[in-house]
Amino acid sequence: KHGVLTRKSHADMDGKRTPRGRRGWKKFYAVLKGMILYLQKDEYKPDTDISEVDLKNAVRIHHALATCATDYSKRANVLKLKTSDWRVYLLQAPSEEEMMSWIFRINLV
Ligand code: I3P
């Protein structure tokens, strides 16, 4: 599965609140492959290596939990992703349908 996702980092490793200056929203081209959610700067192109930066933004979703971010109301179609090392990301999808689809696919892994 792939598509545009806009990310906000809410908590870093071990659940520590992401500090100011790193809490902004940023748009990515997301690709879910195996147990990794790649958040890439540009649209996926076959036969190109994943860049350093894109690898850094990749999220391991093994034992992660995706839910609808019902406690976040500033933006629509936002899902909350909690990883196994207690990072928390808010991810905004372009539509409710897309948000539901991402939640379903992430929790299936
Ligand atoms: C953050 C940025 C986010 C905002 C966040 C700010 O600043 O303005 O858009 O979240 O508020 O800290 P920075 O880019 O300097 O990290 P919202 O869009 O959800 O308001 P927050 O600290 O209350 O999460």
Give the chain's largest Cα–Cα span. 40
Own/partner pairs for 48-53, CB < 8 Å, 24+ apart? none
Neighbours of 85 (CB within 10 A): 12
Ligand 1 pocket member 72 (CB < 6 A): no
What is the ipTM score, two decimals?
A: 0.96
Over range 74-97, report the average pLDDT: 98
Residue 54: pLDDT band with limits 50, 70, 90: confident
Answer yes or no: is the C-beta of 23 below 6 A from any ligand 1 atom.
Answer: yes
Distance 28 CA to ligand 1 centre (A): 17
* Residues 39, 61 contacting (CB under 8 angstroms): no
User: Residues 93, 102: contact at Cβ < 8 Å?
Assistant: yes
